[in-house]
Structure 1
């Protein structure tokens, strides 16, 4: 499905939560990434029909879902969308089976509902928990119930609103893989809202980066990481080394300790080393800038060092703080 947002915006009195934006979404798994308050959840809710845009149009393929000028606003339950929330949104008095079946009421017979629910629970590996209440489950299991409920209605599009933020780090990583696998297996599209850049980079076919209500860049994770459109994107996604006031930047992994082909050399002084599990992040002051690079061992504070960079790894843009 091709999703088109045409001049979509949202105002609350004098506050502009989402500025007029034009975005086309075609990929299977798309992430909307930005800091808290940037408008990403508001954008997601406009897609879902839970928040009415102030102006603009939303199209799913050739069908107009919303148009302010044409006075079209398709109801949420008619958009063939499912949504997974940060707080899971489960009914505590219902069993896992009943929670997953809830959205199927009035659509399928009792026997058909049972078959669909069992299949959904099988996909999320919770078939053995069908008779339990949400309060008896772990956070990860509750998240799986919410996902099963979403896929049970066979949506064309699943919207995830900070769906993993309530989970611990290890569980989040496991759920990322499971969500990707399940979305691919059912043939749906997914739009995933997050403020976590690692999550976005790992999961996305393409990304939409937002800042203060505006879409500042779209593209694949690789395009956005290596060719950020502006300083906000460069600082927000990944680690960045700025080259004095020349309005250029380079990523830490492209800083070397030994000469490479077509490299230039910079002198620096080690300030500190931070252990990051599989490597160390080393901070060095060079020409008045605090740079970061990676190594397999720590470096002694105060040590003089030579750093080498290749010109083709330097990206030019205007410097400002994120």
Structure 2
């Protein structure tokens, strides 16, 4: 499914939650990334039909599902989508089986429904929990039930709204892998909303970065990381060292303690050292700026060192914007 937005925006009174957007979404797994309040969930809900845009048009493939000017607004249950919410959205009085079967009521026979639900629960490894209530499950298991409910209706598009934010770090990593595997196996497209850069970088075929209601950059994770459009994207995605000319930056992994090919040198003083498990993150002051780089050994505060930076990895925001 190809999704096309033409001039889509959302206003709440005088507040512009989402500024006019022209965007085409074609990749299998796409993440909308941004800080809280940037408009990413509002954009997702407009795609789902849960929030009506103030203006613009939305197309799923060649089918117009919304147009303010032509008074078209296809209902959510006719958009062939499913949604997985941050709070799971499960019915506490229903069994796991009935929660997963909920979206199939009136669409398939009882025997077909049973087969589809068991298949969905098998995909999320919960076939043994079918008779339990959501309250008897862990957070990770509840998230799997929500995912099973989404895939049971065989959607063309699954929308995830901060779907992993309620889980602890280990469960989040496990669920990232499971979601990717399941989405790939059923052939659906997925749009995943998050404020977590690690999730976005690890899961996405492409990323849509939003700030203050605007789409500020789209691209693959590699493009977003190595060639940010502006200072917001550079600072929001990963760690950044700014050169004296604020339009130029370099990532910490391209700063070394030993000469490399095509490197220049600069003196620095160590200000702080943080252990990250497999390496240390070293904070240094150089030419009045605070920089960061990685090393496998700690450094003492106040230590004077020489840094070698790879010239060809310095990214110029000014040149790209020009």
TM-score relative to the length of structure 1: 0.98
Partner of 2:128: 128
Task: Could you tell me which runs of 5 or more consecutive residues in structure 1 were left unpaired when the two chains were aligned.
Answer: none
- Residues 78-115 of structure 1 show CA distances to partners (whole Å, capped at 9, x for unaligned) of 00000000000000000000000000000011100000
- Residues 290-311 of structure 1 show CA distances to partners (whole Å, capped at 9, x for unaligned) of 0000001110110001111111
Partner of 2:53: 53
Partner of 2:299: 299
Partner of 2:118: 118
- The whole-number CA distance in structure 1 between the counterparts of 2:244 and 2:163 is 39
Secondary structure in 1 matching 2:6: strand
- Residues 206-251 of structure 1 show CA distances to partners (whole Å, capped at 9, x for unaligned) of 0000000000000000000000000000000000000013420000
1:316 CA drift (Å): 1.0
Secondary structure in 1 matching 2:52: coil
Secondary structure in 1 matching 2:285: strand
**In the alignment, structure 1 residue 189 sits paired with structure 2 residue 189:** yes
Partner of 1:179: 179
- Residues 1-41 of structure 1 show CA distances to partners (whole Å, capped at 9, x for unaligned) of 11001110000000000000111000000000000000000
Partner of 1:220: 220
Partner of 2:282: 282
CA-based RMSD: 0.6
1:278 CA drift (Å): 1.1
Partner of 1:247: 247
Q: Runs (4+) of structure 1 moved beyond 2 Å?
A: none
- The whole-number CA distance in structure 1 between the counterparts of 2:38 and 2:251 is 25
- The whole-number CA distance in structure 1 between the counterparts of 2:296 and 2:161 is 37
Task: Could you tell me which runs of 5 or more consecutive residues in structure 2 were left unpaired when the two chains were aligned.
Answer: none
Mapping of residues 1-150 of structure 1, within 5 Å? 1-150=1-150
How many correspondences in the alignment? Answer: 318
- Residues 22-66 of structure 1 show CA distances to partners (whole Å, capped at 9, x for unaligned) of 110000000000000000000000000000000000001100010
| 1:313/1:14 CA distance change after superposition, 3 Å | same
- The whole-number CA distance in structure 2 between the counterparts of 1:135 and 1:302 is 53
1:175 CA drift (Å): 0.2
- Residues 170-220 of structure 1 show CA distances to partners (whole Å, capped at 9, x for unaligned) of 000000000000000000000000000000000000000000000000000
